[in-house]
Amino acid sequence: MLRRLGNYNLIGLVLGVVLLGVVSMSNADEKSFSKQPPTVAEAEAFIKNAEAKMLELSVYAARADWVKATYITDDTEILAAQADERAIAGQVEFAKQATRFDGLKLPPELSRKMHLLKTSLVLPTPADPQKSAELTEIASRMEGVYGKAKWCPPGKDKCLDIEDLARLMASSHDPNELRDAWVGWHQISRPMRKDFARFVDLSNQGARELGFKDTGALWRSKYDMSPDDFARELDRLWEQVRPLYVQLHAYVRWKLREKYGDQAVPASGPIPADLLGNMWAQSWDNLYPLVAPPNADPGYDLTQILKSRNTDAIGMVRYGEHFFSSLGFAPLPQTFWDRSMFVRPRDRDVVCHASAWDVDADQDLRVKMCIDITSEYFSTVHHELGHNYYQREYREQPYLFRDSANDGFHEAIGDTIALSITPQYLVKLGFIDKVPDPSKDLGLLMQKALEKIAFLPFGLLIDQWRWKVFSGEITPQQYNQAWWALRLKYQGVEPPVARSEEDFDPGAKYHVPANVPYTRYFLAAILQFQFHRALAQTAGCTEPLNRCSIYDNKEAGARLAKMLEMGQSKPWPDALEAMTGQRQMDASAIRDYFAPLEKWLEEQNQGKPVGW
């Protein structure tokens, strides 16, 4: 996950700054300014000033937010909330001032900057200072509740944080233990429910003041197409991949039914959410031992290899850096190693959710992680570094263009690199002696599908829920019921125990209390395979797509760098074309990548219920 505190994290995420009055005008100045007919020269001067001030604010903001995330106390939360209010109010002020130039014919680059300035907000605060302060306080408080949350099992000495629970959900096959852990964690979000309802109300007020119908409409306006067209584009992409997901769901369901029995898992209905190896049932890769195809063991276990080599957290990150260096990218700066958080501190509460940071919109790159020595974290490291390298490549762009072509691109780059963590790559690292026989690919594809394909509907539904909440289609009295209706529709999962409107299960997922838009992850899940296919072709790979790695290929690295350095300076179809030669997002690369597995799943599901 990206946590970039430059550009759209100043514009979009909760920030911290303590520079008072930096973008404010006096009433007299504002009145005089607003009466003058706008000119292109004034628009240029306005943007130049805005970019300079936003860069200044973002650097301070990043440092303040870093402290809050890596040292959670009442004081850091209060200070961050106060700072957030001023930073977001400043950004909203710039966005409102930018509307003065609506209708003025501007040069293309200047016009694009105006558009980004007005549409990149994620947390628009109302103009009323008291309401603005209330909104930012709520935002900081909800993220703090999540970051400090633990579940204390009855009769046990130790309380469990989300990392402890993630390990339990991944390893346990005791249905009672899994159910208790699931229910225990989902209790932590109940206190957020009232706050979230007020958060929605205040955020919508801010969005309407900027000319948007609601906050969801604001979020959908940043994709170089109309909000309605963007929604239709998501539907099109989902329909491209849904047949593969349905086959995977059916196969996993009957394998779980074999494991846990008829009473625990229905023959043709949704799967209980606590049995899928992940707290949110968003990825199912921990189920692999239960669902692995026969004779598909590739003959190695990456987690065990890493541990046998005494790999530590720093070593994990060094492997990721080495991959990018092999493509021709410069090493990470020393400050990255000095300032990043790689392991959970023993003396304080932190937000362990993995994130990448661009503190000064230049070279102060960092990651914030609590790394375990596992194959999953090995991929996560590559993912987070993808953000950092993207950030560094576009640092020469003007400030408003220092971002990814769209937010799905930022998430996709690291995962594109992670798709190159193939047996061929592991041989080059000296982890294994030889590449397994192609007959073993089915198991590797199953492992990847349990991670990637299982995620797709979850990646789509979180913002489907939030957009409906922001629009009022889902009222506070329906939050939980509507949440599970969407999870049933898209994922085919259900809660393990009865839920009510006293619960607030969406808040048990970090991105909801932290106000991080989630559609980017769905887009990334599509784009990474499209990127991988294009880069593999550039690297001259003639093997099946799942066997291709671009490691140590400078030509592929140069093509990647060309797209990264564009930042957000052009509409995303231009950046997509620079990378892939295509101007439309295309999920066919997913079906290409998993074609052998999809055929096998269809064979296995013959005569068994498919769908829910």
Active site residues: 384, 511
Q: Output the six-digit token pair for 31.
A: 């009145």
Q: State the residue for tokens 């799905």.
A: 408
* C-beta atoms surrounding 106 within 10 Å: 18
- Who contacts 130 (Cβ-Cβ below 8 Å, separation ≥6)? none
| Contact in structure between 492 and 610 (CB atoms under 8 Å) | no
Q: Determine how many CB atoms are found less than 10 A away from the CB of residue 89.
A: 20
Residue partners of 416: CB distance under 8 A and separation at least 6: 386, 527, 528, 531, 532, 535
Are 530 and 585 in contact, with CB atoms under 8 Å apart? Answer: yes
Is residue 154 within 8 Å of 180, Cβ to Cβ? Answer: no
- Report yes or no: 580 and 413 within 8 Å, Cβ to Cβ: no
299-334 CB burial, b ≥16 within 10 A, e <16: eeebbebbeeeebebeebbebbbebbebbebeebee
Q: How far, in Å, CA of 517 to CA of 210, rounded?
A: 19
Integer Cα distance of 23 and 77 in angstroms: 24
- Strand partners of residue 16: none
The tokens of 250 are what? 């059916």
The HSE-up count of residue 117 (CA atoms within 13 Å, CB side) is 31
Query: Tokens standing for 414?
Result: 């690291």
- Alpha carbon separation from 190 to 142, 162, 496 (Å, rounded): 11, 16, 17
In whole angstroms, give the CA distance from residue 45 to residue 30: 15
- What distance, in Å, lies between the first and last C-alpha atoms of the chain? 31
> What is the rounded distance in angstroms from the CA atom of residue 214 to the CA atom of residue 201?
9
C-alpha–C-alpha distance, residues 536 and 267, integer Å: 40
